[in-house]
């Protein structure tokens, strides 16, 4: 469910400390998929950094101009919202 959107393809040029140069192609999750995937991961484990990661995903979505319609339907959006809210409540103790 989290990775229903196509990946974003990136071409990178890496420079190693020994002066080698590598050209690589990587696929990364789009903004919405990354946010949903992080929310699902946080629901099954608990790390203090998860809340920061969720916040960063949220900032990336805002910067990219995403909107609720991009979350592929109300079921996916509601489930993700509940998982994010639960993760924040578990760590901070103040979310209702």
pLDDT digits over 16-37, tens only?
999 999 999 999 888 888 888 8
Q: Residue 72: pLDDT above 70?
A: no
**DSSP codes joined into one string, 8-21:** EEEEEEEE-TTS-E
Q: What are phi and psi of 48, to 5 degrees?
A: -60, -35
Model pLDDT, residue 29? 85
CA–CA separation, 20 vs 74, rounded Å? 48
Considering only residues 36 and 81, tell me which one the structure prediction assigns the higher pLDDT: 36
Binned at pLDDT 50, 70 and 90, residue 93 comes out as: very low
- Is the full-model pTM beyond 0.75? no
Bigger pLDDT: 29 vs 70: 29
């Amino acid at each position: 469910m989290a990775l229903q959107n196509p990946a974003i393809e990136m071409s990178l040029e890496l420079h190693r400390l020994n002066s080698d140069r590598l050209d690589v192609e990587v696929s990364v999750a789009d903004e919405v998929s990354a946010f949903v995937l992080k929310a699902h991961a946080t629901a099954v484990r608990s790390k203090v950094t998860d809340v920061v990661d969720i916040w960063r995903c949220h900032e990336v979505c805002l910067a990219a101009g995403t909107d609720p319609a991009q979350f592929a339907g109300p079921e996916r959006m509601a489930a993700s919202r509940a998982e994010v809210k639960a993760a924040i409540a578990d760590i901070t103790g103040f979310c209702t």
